[in-house]
Amino acid sequence: MADHPSFTPRDHKAYMRFALSLAEKSNPQPSNFCVGAVLVDEAANQILSTGYTLELPGNTHAEQCCLEKLSASEAMSADDVGTVLPERTVLYTTMEPCDKRASGNLPCTARILNTKSSANGGVKTVYAGVREPETFVGENRGRAKLEEAGIACVHVTGFEKEILTVATAGHHRS
């Protein structure tokens, strides 16, 4: 497993700051947001996986990279990644998971919901740093869908300005 930094248990701001440092690694584009994400076993206080926008080949999102890197490391299909998630798995992401993608690719909300059907119940809580700006797909219903399915969504405050600056670094300014 990759070497990950360690933080005080449930220090949400420290994990969010780490997610932001990952977002900064993403190559800015005019057509998406640069986002960072961290998948954590909250009971063991262990980082399971990390990801940032366009980290994996193709048009990939931060949360998608987190899940796909973990499934790849376990030599399993991305569809089955829920089966390796511990009981208290939580996801930190600088921007709330997408529910619609201009590209038509599978949204990250659907990927997260897909983990629910596994024995341990998949991702339990999503900690997000900002709502998604309405730039590309209008209002994001991801958070509402996650909450309707029993996945808690928590806003980690204090990084909004930095997160949005990093997220929109490749956007054309008018």
Active-site annotation, residues: 63
Q: Whole-number minimum distance, CB 148 to ligand HJL, in Å?
A: 18
Residue list 27-86, contact with ligand HJL (CB under 6 A): 31-33, 35, 53, 59, 61-63
Regarding 17 and contact with ligand HJL (CB under 6 A), the answer is no
**At what angle are helices 62-73 and 12-23 packed, to 10 degrees?**
90
Judged by beta carbon, residue 98 or residue 163, the one nearer Zn ion is 98
Report the distance separating Cα 16 and Cα 45, nearest Å.
14
Residue list 57-76, contact with Zn ion (CB under 5 A): 61
**At what angle are helices 160-167 and 12-23 packed, to 10 degrees?**
20
| Contact criterion met (CB below 8 Å) for 135 and 108 | no
Type and span of the H or E element at 91: strand 89-95
Regarding 129 and contact with ligand HJL (CB under 6 A), the answer is no
Regarding 124 and contact with Zn ion (CB under 5 A), the answer is no
Judged by beta carbon, residue 8 or residue 22, the one nearer ligand HJL is 22
Regarding 127 and contact with ligand HJL (CB under 6 A), the answer is no
Write down how long the chain is: 174
Q: β-pairing, 89-95 with 36-41?
A: antiparallel
In the complex, which residues of this chain contact ligand HJL (CB under 6 A)? 31-33, 35, 53, 59, 61-63, 93, 95, 97-98, 101-103, 105, 108, 132, 136-137
